[in-house]
Chains A and B, each alone.
Chain A
Amino acid sequence: MNPTLADFGHDNGWIVALKVVGVFVFLVVMTLFTIWYERKVVARMQVRPGPNRHGPFGLLQSLADGLKLAFKEDIMPLKADRVVFFLAPVISTVCAFTAFAIIPFGPFVSIFGQKTPLQLTDIPVAVLLVLACSGLGIYGIVLSGWASGSTYPLLGGLRSSAQMISYEVAMGLSIVAVFMMAGTMSTSEIVNAQAKGGQGELFGFEFTYPGWYVLLLLPSFVIYAISAVGETNRAPFDLPEAESELVGGFHTEYSSLKFALFFLAEYINMVTVSALATTLFLGGWRAPWPITQLGPWVNQGWWPLLWFTIKLLILLFVFVWLRGTLPRLRYDQFMRFGWKVLIPASLIWILALAGFKTMNNENLPGWQRGLWIGGFAVILLAILLWPRKRPAPKLPLEEEVAQRPEGSFPLPPIDLQVPVSPRAKRITADREPVQ
């Protein structure tokens, strides 16, 4: 008996309050933990011990950092737009928290005798809520950059928003396949749809395919994972805060708790995209295969919370791993990758999957399928091998000079000998051996 859409919206007032506070605390604790986790893992990758002073294994390090930030001076730059400068971190935080409202943590549990799904709430268009929240999160960034009244934050904010809208497209396209398979946009139903595999037939072979969409829709998952890293501004796509170019990016002028809020929002966004990946592709809160052999209890009660958290931590580890291994991309490489690779690839994948499903639904005979697939492959090859637009041939220097309009700036001769400076002459003269 798993929660479905109809089971939501019937909770008591105090259960709602409990769940809201629960989600809030979960996110704050996850943020504190993830910062420690990231520092520890990156440290181990670089053969350092990492934080190890505060609490066991240095676990309280990020709490100490957060408290210390609270007692730092709150700086308001003279040229800032005061109202917007105040509001921007709040917008970021609110969007980050709200997106987590529809993530399923588990099946029905009983809280003080009340049977309720282990999920804050669910709506028929739940995934749109996450997309909308990440879309609104852009405002926090572009406004903080603009309101600071400073050059680097402005550039960082603009860059960051262009990056986020580009990768939001890829992210939105990558989850279309999930909706197609599950037939719904509600997160609890998507988790249910992945519960059991199905029977498939390909070229006459019967086989049982597993339910997790990561196996079924691998290209979607890969595109989702890449665009999630771009969407959360994490390494190797952390161009908005490329320290070597933009100091800190959009939050350069922020200090104290306002800066802490941006930090919080960034880490919550990381947790949210990981949780959404778990829900959409990794079977949600369901136990993975070898554990399911232990009995039905593994998918009941509070146990799924454990599986969910483990999957979340594995995905977060991948985030840290990427940061520990890959160098940052250049901005033009990054945008080219998003627009010229991820988006066309996901469109073609959606079409291919839709065609395959249509053929299955219509029960086409084998030779007709072969015909369609062959035709699709031919068109695809034609697009891939389409000749590129050649850049205009570079003229030799004489012709280029001849084409210039009358009175242009004179071109220095190619074999120009730079005259030696008087100072250098003097030095060499000084060193001349005395006859």
Chain B
Amino acid sequence: MTAIDVMLSAVGLVAVGSALAVVSTQHLVRAGLWLVVTLGAVAVEFLLLRAEFVAWVQVLIYVGAVVVLLLFAVMLTRAPIGRSTDLDRPIGPALLIGAGSGLGLAGLFAWVFRDMRVNPPPTGSAQRVGEAIFGDWVLPFEVLSVLLLAALVGAIVLSKKDT
């Protein structure tokens, strides 16, 4: 166990703990805040694994944009201050499905990669990411632009009345 390993596990615990808080809190907006903590912790994990650029992208896109969108979406419908006691929460089935799939996935990964030894790859700089995307992964990159187009058209269709 190196210092990095210890930090990885500690930050991982933070991520899991705050993720549990996201689904268990009764304050709608505070659930969004816990989500910020979760995603931020994942960014720190990326950083500890030396994927520096990806870590900051995680902060910029997920923390800085996606959760803001979620908060806006919550405020579009309702964002009461205080507990929302009228939330529909079937705890038993949710616990079964959530914990079951989570633990199952974790077990599966642990089992599949049990003999794998990975040397830490060279650090993930923006240059390397750039050369990989624009050299080897051109098609996924271009397909992604179509995905963005579809997302935007969907947003317009949802939010604009027919004119």
Question: Within the complex, are A and B direct neighbours (CB within 8 Å)?
Answer: yes
Which residues of A68-83 are within 8 A (CB) of B?
79-81, 83
Judging by beta carbons under 8 Å apart, are A136 and B81 in contact? Answer: no
Q: Which residues of B contact A158 (CB under 8 A)?
A: 72, 75
Give B15 Cβ to nearest chain A Cβ, in Å: 17
B36 (CB) vs chain A CBs: closest residue = A139
A260: Cβ under 8 A from any B Cβ: no
Judging by beta carbons under 8 Å apart, are A125 and B64 in contact? Answer: no
Q: Which residues of A contact B53 (CB under 8 A)?
A: 124-125, 128
A353: Cβ under 8 A from any B Cβ: no
Judging by beta carbons under 8 Å apart, are A147 and B64 in contact? Answer: no
Give B157 Cβ to nearest chain A Cβ, in Å: 18
- Picked from A123, A132, A161, the residue with its CB within 8 Å of the CB of B60 is A132
Judging by beta carbons under 8 Å apart, are B56 and A80 in contact? Answer: no
Chain B window 70-91, contacts with chain A (Cβ cutoff 8 Å), 1 for yes, 0 for no: 0110010001011000000000
Which residues of A121-146 are within 8 A (CB) of B?
123-125, 128-129, 131-132, 135-136, 138-139, 142-143, 146
A84: Cβ under 8 A from any B Cβ: yes
What is the number of contacts between chain A and chain B, taking CB atoms within 8 Å?
A: 62
Judging by beta carbons under 8 Å apart, are B68 and A128 in contact? Answer: no
B10: Cβ under 8 A from any A Cβ: no
The answer to whether residues A165 and B56 also contact, given A84-B30, A146-B29, A146-B75 and a CB cut-off of 8 A, is: no
Judging by beta carbons under 8 Å apart, are A138 and B64 in contact? Answer: yes
CA distance A124 to B54 in the complex (A): 12
Q: Which residues of B contact A83 (CB under 8 A)?
A: 30
Q: Which residues of B contact A81 (CB under 8 A)?
A: 27, 29-30, 81-82
B60 (CB) vs chain A CBs: closest residue = A132
The answer to whether residues A135 and B81 also contact, given A125-B126, A142-B71 and a CB cut-off of 8 A, is: no
A342: Cβ under 8 A from any B Cβ: no
Give B155 Cβ to nearest chain A Cβ, in Å: 14
B19: Cβ under 8 A from any A Cβ: no
Judging by beta carbons under 8 Å apart, are B126 and A136 in contact? Answer: no
Judging by beta carbons under 8 Å apart, are B68 and A132 in contact? Answer: no
Judging by beta carbons under 8 Å apart, are B81 and A142 in contact? Answer: no
- Picked from B57, B63, B125, the residue with its CB within 8 Å of the CB of A136 is B63
Q: Which residues of B contact A139 (CB under 8 A)?
A: 33, 36, 68
Give A123 Cβ to nearest chain B Cβ, in Å: 7
CA distance A147 to B79 in the complex (A): 10
Q: Which residues of A contact B56 (CB under 8 A)?
A: 125, 128-129, 132
A185: Cβ under 8 A from any B Cβ: yes
B81 (CB) vs chain A CBs: closest residue = A81
CA distance A79 to B81 in the complex (A): 8
Interface of A is mostly: helix
CA distance A80 to B82 in the complex (A): 9
Give B130 Cβ to nearest chain A Cβ, in Å: 10
Q: Which residues of A contact B79 (CB under 8 A)?
A: 146
B59: Cβ under 8 A from any A Cβ: yes
Q: Which residues of B contact A124 (CB under 8 A)?
A: 52-53, 125-126
Give A335 Cβ to nearest chain B Cβ, in Å: 15
B65: Cβ under 8 A from any A Cβ: yes
Q: Considering only CB atoms and an 8 Å cut-off, how many residues of chain A contact the other chain? A: 25
Judging by beta carbons under 8 Å apart, are A123 and B52 in contact? Answer: yes
CA distance A123 to B52 in the complex (A): 9
CA distance A158 to B72 in the complex (A): 8
Judging by beta carbons under 8 Å apart, are B65 and A135 in contact? Answer: yes
Give B4 Cβ to nearest chain A Cβ, in Å: 15
Judging by beta carbons under 8 Å apart, are B64 and A135 in contact? Answer: yes
Q: Which residues of B contact A135 (CB under 8 A)?
A: 59-60, 63-65
A355: Cβ under 8 A from any B Cβ: no
Give B40 Cβ to nearest chain A Cβ, in Å: 9
A51: Cβ under 8 A from any B Cβ: no
CA distance A125 to B43 in the complex (A): 14
CA distance A158 to B36 in the complex (A): 18
Chain A window 326-339, contacts with chain B (Cβ cutoff 8 Å), 1 for yes, 0 for no: 00000000000000
The answer to whether residues A136 and B59 also contact, given A124-B125, A124-B126 and a CB cut-off of 8 A, is: yes
Judging by beta carbons under 8 Å apart, are B52 and A125 in contact? Answer: yes
B163 (CB) vs chain A CBs: closest residue = A392
Give B18 Cβ to nearest chain A Cβ, in Å: 14
Q: Which residues of A contact B75 (CB under 8 A)?
A: 146, 158
- Picked from B27, B33, B60, the residue with its CB within 8 Å of the CB of A131 is B60
A288: Cβ under 8 A from any B Cβ: no
Q: Which residues of A contact B82 (CB under 8 A)?
A: 81
B69 (CB) vs chain A CBs: closest residue = A165
CA distance A124 to B65 in the complex (A): 22
Q: Which residues of A contact B68 (CB under 8 A)?
A: 138-139, 142, 161, 165
27 contacts between A and B (CB under 8 A): A81-B27, A81-B81, A83-B30, A84-B29, A84-B33, A123-B52, A124-B125, A124-B126, A125-B56, A125-B125, A125-B126, A128-B57, A129-B56, A132-B60, A132-B63, A135-B59, A135-B63, A135-B64, A138-B64, A139-B33, A143-B29, A143-B33, A146-B29, A147-B81, A161-B68, A165-B65, A185-B126
The 3 closest A-B pairs by CB, nearest first: A135-B64, A128-B56, A132-B59
Residues of B within 8 A of A (CB): 27, 29-30, 33, 36, 52-53, 56-57, 59-60, 63-65, 68, 71-72, 75, 79, 81-82, 125-126
Residues of A within 8 A of B (CB): 79-81, 83-84, 123-125, 128-129, 131-132, 135-136, 138-139, 142-143, 146-147, 149, 158, 161, 165, 185
